[in-house]
Every structure is written in C-alpha cells, then in structure tokens.
Amino acid sequence: MSTVLVIGAGGVSSVCVHKMAMNSGIFSSIHLASRTKSKCDAIAASVKQRCGVDVATYEIDAEEVPAMVNLIKNVQPSLVLNLALPYQDLPIMDACLAAGVNYLDTANYEPKDEAKFEYSWQWAYHDRFKQAGIMALLGSGFDPGVTSVFTMWLKKHKLKTIRTLDILDCNGGDHGQHFATNFNPEINIREVTAPARHWENGEFVETPAMAKKVQFDFEGVGPKNMYMMYHEELESLAKFNPEMERARFWMTFGDAYITHLTVLQNVGMTRIDPIKYKGQEIIPLQFLAAVLPKPETLGETTKGNTNIGCIATGEALDGSGEKTFYIKNICSHEAAYEETGNQAVSYTTGVPAMIGSAMVVQGVWSGDGVFNIEEMDPDPFMDMLNQHGLPWTVEEMDGPVEF
Ligand code: NDP
C-alpha cells in the first residue's frame, strides 16, 4: 500500500494512472500534478468512471523546484513518477533529493536548446541519491524500458554473452491523419531528425538521419520499412553489456511520414533555435507541435498493432554454441483504447511505468542511488508485463539477422 505522485498529464500519464487505479492494492493513494490542471482533472474523471478510484489533482510547473518540493512534502509519496517531458528530469530529481523521495522516469534528460539526449546528466546525481538513501529508476517505459529488460532477460535465461543486438520498434497503427506523431511531437521530431548512432566495436558510430533503411516483416503488422536511428537505451545497454560487438535501434516510418518530415525540415519548421516573428521570439518546432494533432486525441481513430522487440545473438547459456533469439510484444491500438482511452504508444509506455513503480514501492527493486532499469532483476517485471496487458513471446531464430 503506497502513495504515489505522478507529474505530467499527457497520454503516457493517463495510461499509467488508469493502470495504477486498477491495482489499488499496490497504489492505495494516487496524486496527479501537471502544468494544466484541467488535463489532470480529465484523467481523474476517466479513472473514477472506469475504475471507481479517486485521484487527487494539482497544478504545478515541475521546473519550479521549491514549488515541487512543497507539493512532494504535502503529498508525502513514496515515489514521484516523472511522466512530463525529458526537460523536467533534472528539476524533478532536484526536488526528490530535497524532499528525500524516490524518483522514476521514462526518458532521459534533454536540454531545451540542444537536440541531445544522454544519461550523463542524470548519472551525475548517483552519489547525492546514494547519500540521501533514495532511489532513482531511469527509463521505465517501453523503449527505453521493456526493450532494456527484454535484453537483460535474454542474458539471464538464454545467452551468456550478447554479440549483436537489434531493437525493432514498429508502430503499425493507422490514425487516419496526414501527419501526426504518436507521442509528444516536439520530443518525437527532435529524436527522429537527429543523426543515427549505433554501437560498434566499443564506440558509437554516427551516420546521417534516416540513411539506412531495411524492410522487415513484423508479426501482426506485415512488411514495413524500418530506419536505423539513435535511441537512448543503446547508451545504457552498451554500458551494462560491454561485450556487445554491435547494437542498433530501428523504427518503422511510412513513406507519407518521411515525405512530410522532409518537407518540414527543408522549410525550417523543425528548427529548435528561436526566430523573430512579428516582434516575438518563437521556436519553429514548438509552433509546429502546437498545430499538429495532440497524441492523446489519436486514440479513438487509431487501428492496428505495435510490435516492439529485440533480436539478440550470442553464446548460448547451455553451451550449445551461438544462438539467436527474438523477444517481443504485440499490442493492439484498439484494445489499449478500449481499456484506458489511449492508443498503444501511450499504453506501451504507461504500463511499464506502472510496473516499474510497483517494483520500487513494493521494494522488489531497491537500492540507494541512480539506476538504469538494466541493473534490476528482469524476472518480476517480465511477470507483471504478462499480467498487466503487455504479454511477450520469445522464439529462437535460424541465425543472426542478415541486415
Ligand atoms: P505529452 O506531451 O502528451 O504529455 C506531457 C505532459 O507533461 C503534459 O501534460 C504537459 O503539460 C506536462 N508538462 C510539460 N511541461 C511541464 C512542466 N514544466 N511542468 C509540469 N508539467 C509539464 O507527452 P507523452 O505523454 O506522450 O510523453 C510523456 C513522456 O513519456 C515524455 O517524456 C516522453 O519522452 C516519454 N515517452 C517515453 C517512451 C518510452 O518508451 N520510454 C515512449 C513515449 C514517450 P501541458 O499539457 O500543460 O503541456
């Protein structure tokens, strides 16, 4: 039985809060705070209607550390979940340190003025969290999150060492819009327009964005073009699996998405430096995000499945030579919407955020300091994925990937 404070009221938060309310034996008191209180109230109303559980709501700017500390002290949670944006990671960690409360997030810190995300800023908090006797659990979404746990589960149960790793993220959903992103548009576009980076022979190798394309036949979706890109779990996976020769991340995009994005980039709409417009400073990407469909409005129209998983090749644990395993989850947009009122991209992130929180508040996962999800025992998390809407399968493949 525990009290939790969730920050942010977007699609991911909505799913997570619904799932916490469905597990009131673990989360006995749920508090939700965000920049716009009406969004918290809308989530609370849906939770009340679907689950009969009350959620307390508050308005907060998470970048105002003293106000965050006051809120945490008033609520007295055992865990603060950061489901706002990566820009708020450090201020929320500062507030957790000041209030002496555990922290969890789903995306690593990113400065607003530079499209660069890496763990160094958050890893630098390790000693302070350790001294305070509290835990920060980083990356408890799907990717990072489930993909990281999938990899570590393979390493615990199937492979002694991992030689190559490919993370395949396919959203086969169709939302019926010309162009829309399925999570926060600003963060999503910053991510996909950044140069690709993959891990090879002990270092990250950079290539131009969207330059490497491969077609792959995804179960539950069909053949899709996937593009190699950088994703933050490559950094933590490479740190905790130093034997890996190569690790890559792939995401599917349809031709229409690529065409729209190319035009938007070419005309300067994805720039993140301020420009003057009618005497006012605006950031083109933020303006673009304001006119695009809000991800939380896509749920009702999105049809199809997501299919996200990892293919790992390495030395088998049972001494039978080199083996390749494919571990994945397939999630239906329609089923996610039916259960929580949100599409599958929010669902596949919000459910692992709930599960990671359950691990921390129940003391199944514990430690003083800042930890990536790869450092924890994968088994109890994998069990909860099966019980709470994200079942997974693992299969042996004939051999390593040929792309
Ligand atoms: P949304 O944009 O839908 O929601 C973000 C929420 O944070 C909004 O309610 C927003 O408020 C709130 N917020 C923004 N700034 C502040 C602030 N300064 N103080 C308080 N609240 C603030 O995003 P998503 O729900 O799609 O994504 C949430 C997080 O999940 C992001 O960090 C994203 O990167 C991460 N993510 C992780 C994935 C994974 O697999 N690991 C996959 C998908 C997303 P307002 O509405 O008022 O602007």
pLDDT category of residue 341 using cuts at 50, 70 and 90? very high
- Looking up residue 240, the CATH number of its domain turns out to be 3.30.360.10
The answer on 109 and 199 residing in a single domain is no
Q: Take atom 31 of ligand 1 and give the residue whose Cα is closest.
A: 85
* Ligand 1 centroid, distance to 203 Cα (angstroms): 31
Would you say residue 250 lies in a domain? yes
pLDDT at 312: 98
- Looking at 100, 117, 138, which one is the last position of a domain? 138
In a domain? residue 308: yes
CATH of the domain at 46: 3.40.50.720
Residue 80 binned pLDDT confidence (cut-offs 50, 70, 90): very high
Predicted confidence at residue 385, as pLDDT, reads 98
Grade residue 190 by pLDDT with cuts at 50, 70 and 90. confident
pLDDT in tens, 282-304: 999 999 999 999 888 888 999 99
- Phi, then psi, of 134 in degrees rounded to 5: -125, 165
Q: Is the pLDDT of residue 365 over 90?
A: yes
- For 128, other C-beta atoms within 10 Å of its C-beta total 15
Decide if 186 is inside a domain. Answer: yes
Number of domains in the chain: 2
Same-domain pairing of 156 and 264: yes
Statement: residue 116 has pLDDT above 90: no
What was the pLDDT predicted at 279? 96
Query: CA nearest 103: which of 139, 144, 136, 66?
Result: 136
| 169-194 mean pLDDT | 90
Q: Residue 365 domain-assigned?
A: no
Label residue 114 by pLDDT band (50, 70, 90): confident
Verify that 197 and 331 share a domain, yes or no.
yes
Q: Is 216 part of a structural domain of the chain?
A: yes
Whether residue 189 sits in one domain with residue 101: no
Same domain, 18 and 90: yes
Q: In angstroms, rounded to a whole number, what is the distance separating the alpha carbons of residues 381 and 379?
A: 5
Check whether residue 96 and residue 158 sit in a common domain: no
> Is the CB of residue 356 less than 8 Å from the CB of residue 145?
yes
Instruction: Assess whether the C-beta atom of 297 lies below 6 angstroms from ligand 1.
Output: no
Q: How far away, in angstroms, is 6 Cα from ligand 1 center?
A: 11
Same domain, 177 and 305: yes
Give 88 Cα–ligand 1 centroid separation in angstroms.
Answer: 9
pLDDT at 395 over 90: yes
Instruction: Tell me the per-residue pLDDT of 222-260, one tens digit each, with 9 for 90 and over.
Output: 999 999 999 999 999 999 999 999 999 999 999 999 999
Final residue belonging to a domain, choices 74, 105, 138: 138
For residue 354, is it within any domain?
no
* Contacts of the segment 255-264: beta carbons below 8 A, 24+ positions apart: 255/225, 256/178, 256/179, 257/179, 258/210, 260/178, 260/179, 261/179, 261/189, 261/192, 261/193, 264/189, 264/288
Boundary of a domain, candidates 82, 105, 138: 138
List the residue whose alpha carbon is closest to atom 44 of ligand 1: 183
Q: Is residue 364 part of a domain?
A: no
Ligand 1 atom showing the smallest separation from residue 187 Cα: 34
- 302 and 193 within one domain: yes
Judged by DSSP in three states, 168 sits in strand
pLDDT digits (tens, 9 = 90+) for 11-60: 999 999 999 999 999 999 999 999 999 999 999 999 999 999 999 999 99
Residue 125 has a pLDDT of: 98
**Residue 26 tokens, joined:** 């673990």
Does residue 403 carry a pLDDT above 90? yes
User: Which range of residues forms the domain containing residue 19?
Assistant: 2-138
From the CB of 185, is ligand 1 less than 6 Å away?
no
Q: Find the 244 Cα to ligand 1 centroid distance in Å.
A: 32
- One-letter-per-residue 3-state SS of 232-245: CHHHHHHHHCCCCC
Q: Which residues 6+ apart lie within 8 Å of 328 measured at CB? A: 150, 168, 219, 307, 308, 309, 310, 392, 393
Q: Are residues 193 and 291 in the same domain?
A: yes
Closest C-alpha to 322, from 245, 211, 237 = 245
For residues 49 and 194, membership in a common domain is answered with no
* Residues 184 and 109 both lie in one domain: no
Cα–Cα distance for residue pair 92/105, rounded to 1 Å = 10
- What is the structure's pLDDT at 297? 87
Other Cβ atoms closer than 10 A to 348: 25
Assigned domain for 306 exists: yes
Which of 17, 35, 90, 229 has most ligand 1 atoms within 8 Å of its beta carbon, as the pocket-test mutant? 35
180/61 same-domain check: no
What distance in angstroms lies between residue 86's CA and the mean position of ligand 1's atoms? 8
Report the separation in Å between the CA atom of 266 and the middle of ligand 1, taken as the mean of its atom positions.
27
Query: Which atom of ligand 1 is the closest one to the Cα of 62?
Result: 19
28 burial via Cβ count (<10 Å: 0-12, 13-18, 19+): middle
3-class DSSP assignment, residue 284? helix
